[in-house]
Structure 1
Amino acid sequence: MKKTLRIGTRDSELALWQANRVKEGLESLEYQAEIVPVKSHGDLVLDKPLYEMGITGIFTKALDIAMIRGEIDIAVHSMKDVPTALPRGIVQGAVLKRADASDLLIHKGDLAFLDEAGTVATGSLRRRAQWLHRYPEHSVENLRGNINTRMRKLQNSSWNGAIFAAAGLERISPFEGTDIDPGNRITLDWMVPAPAQGAMLAVAMEHDDYGRQALDRLNHRDTEICTHVERQFLRVLEGGCTAPIGAKACLENDDIVFNGILLSPDGKRKHSVQKRAPLKQYTVLGEQCALEILKNGGKETLEHIRQYQDQRPGTTASS
């Protein structure tokens, strides 16, 4: 018996774009689907960086609750926002083919600041730490909100630039209404992205065979493998999705190539690992790389991160 699959999503432009790609994919397979927008707490509180809010999975909790209550059948997320442990009863249904996982610097046309004092903006602790590691004389300001809001804040500020995910800028066009040239961008190929950045995740209830079978037909196996390695690396480091941890896995022929990084929030401490392994080892590669980081000084840096978070009002060591 066919039923209409209710797809839950945040109501930002980017989130709706993602949910509609899942809807289109399901409809192309002759399933019936509809979009159900759900407001998240992360969309409502815009005056604090995520790492100061003390909540893991802030953009996913509202959808988790709606799913458990039976208000939606499927939830669609930016995979990098999803905690490594899903709530009981909710399971991974499909990882869609990944878009560009890079970080981009959007600037105002003058790059002289890269060689002198400058100011960039980001709400990501990972981006902040990597930028300060490379440009220790710079200032990094907090920048929150959806992509359109952040672009307007950049235009109306004295900042030299701001850092965005390339995938988000591919999916929507936030330059409209600003005087920032869309060409004023630099791919930060030296910056390691967040685990699963650029990938979309659709989840369903474990007992919902119909929804799970539908999503399984949308799954992109190569992206699923790479994001598994990246998220396993994150899970073992116990960093949560707001810690200064980056990870990127790529498939090259019959191998998987991994690059992982852990930094202190101020960017002064940096631990990195690069490995190439046979593809059949992907189930353990992320853990092996994380353990190598921990063995080579990462434990001390993680303790430093916890102390940093404990000093901020309303945060917890696990944020």
Structure 2
Amino acid sequence: MKLVMLRPVYLPGDVASLRSGPVTDAVAELGPLVAARALSEAELLARLEQIPIRPAGVKIDRSAFSDGLPRKERLFAIHDGFFGVFRATDATTELLAHCVLVGYRTMLREAARCGTTLDDEQWGRLRHGIEATVAYLLGLPIGEPRPTPVPVGADALDPHRRWRSGHHVFFPLIQAIVLGLGCFQAAVNAGRTGEADEALAFATVVMTASSDAMCFASDFQPHHYGGAVRPAMAPPYLPVGLSGVMSEDHDLLIRRFRELREVFPTLEGRLGPRREAFIAAVEGTYDAHKRVCAKFDGEHVVSLRMSADSAAKAVGVLEQLERSRLNTLRSV
């Protein structure tokens, strides 16, 4: 299971740069159908099976495999390696679209095989977040989420596969939020209110969907996490305990949050309510993350990034991070 993603520092900085980039014929044909949800789930999956994992000619960035990387870059490489993520630096818009569609395919395959305990509202929001990302890349309306019947699969669920499948959807969504916030800030700085409103609305939709992606990734019994998934993310199987803060997409997202401290307090008119909706979506995503963590006994076990004798339990660490992030967005 592989996912080829753009290094987030190469994300377009504004809408004009994003939509001036080329897309492959496959994306140009399938993208509008995905954005409009014009296909049945079976038809969509059959069409997605034809999408290559990366556009023709895109080369993998091999720098992450080099010796002597700085500590932060080493942690990024460990995180990507565990989840089967490879990075590239070119074909920006093409690669963004392919990454989203490949993640969508992985999720639909997994759900068709094994089903999901997400309800129709959650499944509809999750699918909408992916479809909205494709729409935003192509300059199409992002529409509204709607409840969608969940797939019913009869195969036995593999917790390792579900964990990785869910993250292969979660990661492109996080990158899409970074993209939306970058386009929002560029539009605000240029005085383009309509473009800023579109970008922040998009980031809000995708932020909401990311919480459902976490629920999908953790859609298995708690004893499978403690007995199989969690040990695989810690020594001796990995050099260090794995954490979401080791993701370079998450790292850039937090930088975007800090940059918003200068912008959010100045928003007026329709952008004021749009800001509050985004902050509420961030809060909802942290709440979902805490629920997932609590499901896996996070109120009693320490984070993988902490020493085993730490008094800070995993849910408590998330609560501290949530307060910090929300205070940043609220400029408190």
**Which TM-score band applies after superposition, normalised by the shorter structure?**
under 0.3
Q: Identify, as 1 or 2, the structure richer in helix.
A: 2
Q: What TM-score do you get using the length of structure 2 for normalisation?
A: 0.24
Q: Identify, as 1 or 2, the structure richer in strand.
A: 1
